Amino acid sequence: MMRRASTAALAGALLLLSACAVGPRYSRPTAPTPPGFKETPPSWKQAQPSDQTARGKWWEIYQDPQLDQLEDKIEVSNQTLKASIAQFDQARALVRLNRADLFPTVNAGVSAMRERLSKNRPFGASTGAATVNDLTLPLDMAYEPDVWGRVRRNVEAFRADAQASFADLELVRLSVHSELATDYFQARELDAEYQLLNSTVASYQKALDLTENRYQGGIASQVDVAQAQTLLESARASAIDVAATRTQFEHAIAVLVGVPASTFTLNYAPLTAAPPAIPPGLPSELLERRPDIAASERQMASANARVGVAKAAYFPVFNFPPSVGYEGSSISNWLSNPSAFVSVGASAVVTVFDVGRRRAAYDQAKAVYDQAVANYQQNVLTAYQEVEDNLAGLRLLEQEAATQAAAVAAAEHSLALSENRYKGGVTSYLEVTTAQTVALSDERAAVQISGRRMIESVLLIKALGGGFDSASLSKLDLTSRKPYTPPTAVASGSGQ
């Protein structure tokens, strides 16, 4: 009874000690936060659009049904996204694997052995030769009380790793959605450019017909005809080049939505829309809306927890290995009460000398944490830069679009004057071809600027984090055995 009481007291003491955990407490380092974004277009500040326009299914702000359908397919069929989901499931499994160390491991087994003992064995002369049976049914428990918090710190580290993996998954999701949107708008811009070139080809064909008629009438020279023919064929070649580039974006979209390029066709639809106003919000909000920053922050937390794991190596390791079961010499007495056995004990082991191994491991863990902090700070600075870059791009492209529209109007007016002068016999056809070349160049530039504005708006949404919210990390179920299924994928798949 005294021995049992002592063992129970020892076990209770170990449980009380397991309430403490060595190592530093984690707190997120402060990051430089400017009061506001300086590159926000003035028209957006006046409009004060709702902050919710860039949340959730952010691509719906473009009000393009075909884009919406393609974006929904990503959640169901994109293979890159599926690979990231599988990686997140691996991280969740590691949380469960290391969390199991908080609890005892119980092993059960059965053994049966028949043994003939030698008469000439040491100390066996008095009993002579003998044949014995040994039937055993043990139940062994292995348990290492987490006295210094080594296991808890390890679980904390893997939990933070899993949260970082989820943030990485959200970053992949944001990247593939934004890549699809940029490819889509690039294709639409090329459609508009192709439409412009086709109309130009038709116009140049009429000009060539007119020049040939004038040549037949002796009014124009053969040089005029050659110049008109050259412009026509150049326009046709440009249209073919645009069509070839457009097919590459069509194939890229097919890969993003998870279908073979041979079976996918993107309907022809020239770009006509202007980019919507996208509120950047406050710089302080950016830290909660960027999945890459959230991943960096969780990596810091993981590194901090592993510093505690390295610190715990300096303290003794306790073991509590009780064992119970039955052992008998025959089946008739095997499972009877006299055949029961109980073994209870505890042990403690501490490393006395390791030639600086623990110190080196601790220093390495600290250096990993310092590296994670520096990476976090750098990612924050890069995030502010990307937002400012895209805000500036949209602001300047808006000005460029207005200036280019004026250039197009001037070029078209100049072309009309040159054509009238040529028809009146005042000037040569060289003036007309020059005006046509300038007009087409300005018109193509205007179309390309419209496409760049749409793409820049997508990149701004990506820089702002899309619909991500770092608060979702604390709501993750990291101990479930069910594979992770994104809610958006369920919603998208249910309608098919």
Asked if residue 142 lies in contact with residue 105, where contact means CB atoms within 8 angstroms, the answer is yes
Domain identity same for 157 and 296: yes
pLDDT band for 496, please (50, 70, 90 cuts).
very low
Continuous segment of H or E residues that includes residue 349: strand 347-349
Residue type (1 letter), 427: T
Q: What is the DSSP string of 363-428?
A: HHHHHHHHHHHHHHHHHHHHHHHHHHHHHHHHHHHHHHHHHHHHHHHHHHHHHHHHHHHHHTTSS-
* Average pLDDT, rounded, for the chain: 88
pLDDT band for 50, please (50, 70, 90 cuts).
very low
For position 49, what pLDDT does the model report? Answer: 47
Asked if residue 177 lies in contact with residue 59, where contact means CB atoms within 8 angstroms, the answer is yes
416-433 pLDDT, tens digit per residue, is 999 999 888 888 889 999
- Judged against a pLDDT cut of 80, whether residue 457 lies above it is answered with yes
| Residue that is written with structure tokens 């380092």 in the block | 29
Q: What is the mean pLDDT of residues 216-228?
A: 91
pLDDT band for 449, please (50, 70, 90 cuts).
very high
Q: What is the domain range of residue 389? A: 26-104+146-315+353-489
Domain boundary among 325, 349, 373: 349
Domain identity same for 299 and 327: no
d(CA 79, CA 172): 11
DSSP lists the bridge partners of residue 140 as 107, 323
- Judged against a pLDDT cut of 50, whether residue 473 lies above it is answered with yes
Q: What is the mean pLDDT of residues 288-297?
A: 95
d(CA 145, CA 74): 47
Asked if residue 253 lies in contact with residue 434, where contact means CB atoms within 8 angstroms, the answer is no
Domain identity same for 362 and 400: yes
| Residue that is written with structure tokens 């904390």 in the block | 156
120-151 pLDDT, tens digit per residue, is 767 655 666 678 888 888 888 888 888 888 99
Nearest to 23 by CA among 306, 299, 301: 306
Domain identity same for 333 and 455: no
Q: What is the DSSP string of 240-270?
A: HHHHHHHHHHHHHHHHHTTS-GGG--PPP--
Q: Is the pTM of this model over 0.85?
A: yes
Q: What is the mean pLDDT of residues 191-196?
A: 97
- Judged against a pLDDT cut of 50, whether residue 270 lies above it is answered with yes
Domain count along the chain? 2
pLDDT band for 219, please (50, 70, 90 cuts).
confident
For position 339, what pLDDT does the model report? Answer: 83
Domain identity same for 117 and 186: no
CATH number of residue 234's parent domain: 1.20.1600.10
Q: In the structure encoding, which two tokens stand for residue 477, read together? A: 């179920």
For position 47, what pLDDT does the model report? Answer: 46
Tell whether 284 is covered by a domain: yes
Domain identity same for 383 and 467: yes
| Residue that is written with structure tokens 């949404």 in the block | 461
For position 348, what pLDDT does the model report? Answer: 87
Domain identity same for 114 and 224: no
Among 18-32, 49-63, 422-436, where is mean pLDDT lowest?
A: 49-63
pLDDT band for 494, please (50, 70, 90 cuts).
very low
Domain identity same for 327 and 372: no
Q: What is the mean pLDDT of residues 102-114?
A: 88
d(CA 453, CA 440): 20
Q: In the structure encoding, which two tokens stand for residue 91, read together? A: 């991280």
For position 1, what pLDDT does the model report? Answer: 45
Q: What is the mean pLDDT of residues 82-97?
A: 95
Tell whether 9 is covered by a domain: no
339-396 pLDDT, tens digit per residue, is 888 888 888 888 888 899 999 999 999 999 999 999 999 999 999 999 999 999 999 9
- Judged against a pLDDT cut of 80, whether residue 41 lies above it is answered with no
How would you class 417 by CB atoms within 10 Å of its CB: exposed for 0-12, middle for 13-18, buried for 19 or more?
middle
Q: What is the mean pLDDT of residues 426-454?
A: 94
Domain identity same for 122 and 186: no
Domain identity same for 325 and 414: no
